[in-house]
Amino acid sequence: MQFEDLDLTDDVLDALYDMHFDECTPIQEKAIPAALEGRDLIAVAQTGTGKTAAFLLPVINELGKRKPSDKIKCVVMTPTRELALQIDGQMQGFSYFLPISSLPIYGGTDGAGYARQQRGLQMGAEVVIATPGRLLAHLSMGYVDLSEVEFFILDEADRMLDMGFYDDIMQIARKLPETRQTLMFSATMPPKIQKMAKSLLHDPVEIKIAVSKPTEKVHQKVYLCGERRKEALLLHLFDTVNSRRVIVFASSKLKVKDLARALRRKKLAVGEMHSDLDQNVREEVMRNFRAGNIDILVATDIVARGIDIDDITMVVNFDVPHDAEDYVHRIGRTARAGEEGVAVTLVGERERRKFKYIEDFLGKPVERGELPEALRDGSESRDDEKKPRTSSGRNESADSGKGRADKPRRRWTCRRKPRGPKGPASSGAPAGQ
């Protein structure tokens, strides 16, 4: 279906034309007509399927028919600062020919940033795009009026619940008019999302776009290797496959910091992205990465969902993701906009069962990559990975095998000082106790 086949105003269609949006994605084709009819909606679709346009376009289309207002008409909830800024950017693009105001509200700012958000809320914006905690903080100060909100949108609802925002969202929802239209978008539908949907939505249209397998344009490959070989293998991939426009996903912010530091020592142009960075730094990192000043971005799953960068050439899972859906989200950062890409996963000994579950979801084994000669069965074996190591870093079995067989175990004894004759008050206890 083409966008021009939808019941959208000319101003919205002109903006879509200028942004080279021609054909609807499946989620847009199903969600936009239902939303234009004023129906509540719950849609399940993975990231990268065009959900942002699916919920913004109906709102922009309706608000564009009216006179501009300084009252909040739409609240969009999103889990992260990056997504709030990205949605605001797309909002500005879709509403380019319309006088609709929008305001991103997110945490991680200093006092000046908080004050700017406060002034923006007091001056008025028709669309507020916010992370739950920060919007609740502004609400608690008494200067945010949600009494005229007509549209309530929850983007990446499952991620917001994973981050502990359930109570915040429900608090915000209680401050909204009962007659609002609610649109909920989620990548998965666990029981807690179903519970929230029953509380917030009225007779919703249900749309489910199955979690699709990765596109064939993503060349997937897996390397089975020891944990301590991963860094060397990563450097080998940079030398032989690609070292520009790459995202490397790691399991924790501590590992992201350590890995980024190690790659910088190799004189690589590396940026890092994790929750310990303040907002200004995170925005600067993303700007530099988009501009090509940074070749390699090492990140937690903070950039696995919703971050729109079209020219990523390779994604590396330095650690196996927790589940198949996270795997799909991660490798979906490459091979976008019809391009081809590479997705490599480094699987340690203890991660093989986890990756087997991912292959079961994919319905086929992922191609095995061949380790370079220097990393094959050399300094560490599979058995070495399983054995505990001493504080000196040596394998415990090596110490016990050779050393203990040749040397008798030394017996330690405790020599007591001779005691004098027992006194009447000693009762057999050593002196001094």
Split at pLDDT 50, 70, 90, the class of 30 is very high
Kindly list the structural domains of the chain, giving each domain's residue range(s) and its CATH number in brackets, ordered by start: 3-208 (3.40.50.300), 218-377 (3.40.50.300)
Band (377; pLDDT cuts 50, 70, 90): low
User: What element of type H or E holds 103?
Assistant: strand 102-105
pLDDT-derived band at 229, boundaries 50, 70, 90:
very high
Query: Band of the pLDDT at 335, cuts 50, 70, 90?
Result: confident
Mean pLDDT check: name the lowest of 85-94, 162-171, 299-308, 317-326: 299-308
168-186 burial: b if 16+ Cβ within 10 Å, else e: bbeebbeebeeebbbbbbb
**pLDDT over 50 (residue 156):** yes
Q: pLDDT tens across 410-430, in order?
A: 444 444 444 444 444 433 433
Query: How do beta strands 41-44 and 205-208 pair?
Result: parallel
Q: How far from 59 is each of 52, 100, 126, 145, 149, CA to CA, in Å?
A: 11, 10, 10, 19, 12
Residue 126 pLDDT greater than 70, yes or no: yes
pLDDT at 106: 93
Q: Which residue has the tokens 């060349």?
A: 219
Confidence at residue 433, expressed as pLDDT on a 0 to 100 scale: 37
Q: What b/e string do you get for 365-390 counting C-beta neighbours within 10 Å, with b at 16 or more?
A: ebeebebeeebeeeeeeeeeeeeeee
pLDDT confidence of residue 301: 84
- 352 pLDDT band, cuts 50/70/90, is very high
Confidence band (pLDDT; 50, 70, 90) for 307?
low
Rounded to the nearest 5°, which phi and psi values hold at 208? -130, 115
The model scores a pTM over 0.85 = no
The answer to whether 154 touches 80, Cβ cutoff 8 Å, is no
Q: In Å, what is the CA distance from 30 to each residue of 42, 160, 175?
A: 11, 24, 29
